[in-house]
């Protein structure tokens, strides 16, 4: 782990218990944390404390962390953002990086992985690749995420585009994505 000194970061997650737990872990590593539970509080904290580093949850209640990335980058083009999510997909990972996030981590991630992602300057070419294709359930999840991103997180528009009932799509979105 890096010797970080006294750094200040923005932590945006609507899960209060997770946010407080991660805050304590980061503070034990000498990092001052400014927590927010929604996009408006995150924007206000970033401006008030002139924060240059942030950890952003992908799903912030009914709001999209992708939209927050875009707003934070507009506010401060030099901000370093890491997306930390329990609902990872290829589509959201690609969009997060295209919007300006430096890293994209899936929950659960330990504090050392998070700190490394926050402060690393380069990618890792040694990340292992998989030889197995995705399962049908994972492919479905990826497709839903892609169409959802195309419709800017609008569930009703996504359901119409996919030819399914909105409630059916909502049920599918509430399930955590399967591995592989």
Q: Give 173's pLDDT tier (boundaries 50, 70, 90).
A: confident
Contact (CB, 8 A) for 19 and 13: yes
Has residue 74 been placed in a domain?
Answer: yes
Has residue 179 been placed in a domain?
Answer: no
Residues 48 and 109 in one domain: yes
pLDDT at residue 24, as a whole number? 93
Residues 33 and 104 in one domain: yes
Residues 113 and 78 in one domain: yes
pLDDT at residue 131, as a whole number? 60
How many other CB atoms sit within 10 Å of the CB of residue 34? Answer: 19
Residues 80 and 26 in one domain: yes
Has residue 68 been placed in a domain?
Answer: yes
The enclosing domain of 104 has a CATH number of 3.40.50.2300
Domain that holds residue 151: 136-174
Q: Which two tokens stand for residue 84?
A: 């930390």
The enclosing domain of 157 has a CATH number of 1.10.10.60
pLDDT at residue 45, as a whole number? 93
Has residue 85 been placed in a domain?
Answer: yes
Distance CA 28, CA 37 (A): 21
* DSSP-based helix, strand, coil % in the chain, nearest 5: 45, 15, 35
Distance CA 179, CA 24 (A): 29
Residues 49-103 have pLDDT tens digits of 888 899 999 888 888 899 999 999 999 998 999 998 877 778 888 989 999 999 9
Residues 91 and 35 in one domain: yes
pTM value? 0.70
pLDDT reading at 17 higher than 60 = yes
Residues 130-150 have pLDDT tens digits of 666 667 777 787 788 778 877
Q: Which two tokens stand for residue 135?
A: 């399962």
pLDDT at residue 3, as a whole number? 42
Has residue 129 been placed in a domain?
Answer: no
For the ranges 13-17, 119-123, 146-150, the lowest mean pLDDT is seen at 119-123
Residues 15 and 98 in one domain: yes
pLDDT reading at 176 higher than 70 = no
Residues 19 and 95 in one domain: yes
Phi then psi dihedrals of residue 124, to 5 deg:
-120, 105
pLDDT at residue 19, as a whole number? 92
Residues 113 and 141 in one domain: no
Give the total number of structural domains in the chain: 2
Residues 112 and 141 in one domain: no
């Amino acid at each position: 782990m890096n010797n970080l000194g006294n750094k200040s970061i923005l932590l945006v997650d609507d899960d209060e218990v997770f946010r407080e737990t991660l805050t304590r872990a980061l503070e034990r590593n000498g990092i001052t944390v400014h927590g927010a539970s929604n996009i408006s509080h995150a924007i206000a904290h970033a401006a008030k404390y002139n924060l240059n580093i942030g950890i952003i949850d992908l799903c912030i209640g009914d709001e999209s962390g992708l939209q927050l990335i875009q707003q934070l980058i507009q506010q401060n083009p030099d901000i370093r953002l890491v997306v930390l999510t329990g609902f990872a997909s290829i589509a959201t990972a690609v969009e997060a990086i295209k919007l300006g996030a430096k890293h994209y981590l899936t929950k659960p991630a330990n504090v050392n992985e998070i700190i490394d992602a926050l402060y690393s300057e380069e990618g890792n070419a040694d990340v292992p690749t998989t030889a197995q294709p995705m399962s049908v359930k994972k492919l479905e999840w990826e497709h839903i995420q892609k169409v959802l991103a195309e419709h800017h997180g609008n569930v009703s528009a996504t359901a119409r585009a996919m030819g399914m009932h909105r409630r059916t799509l909502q049920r599918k979105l509430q399930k955590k994505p399967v591995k592989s």
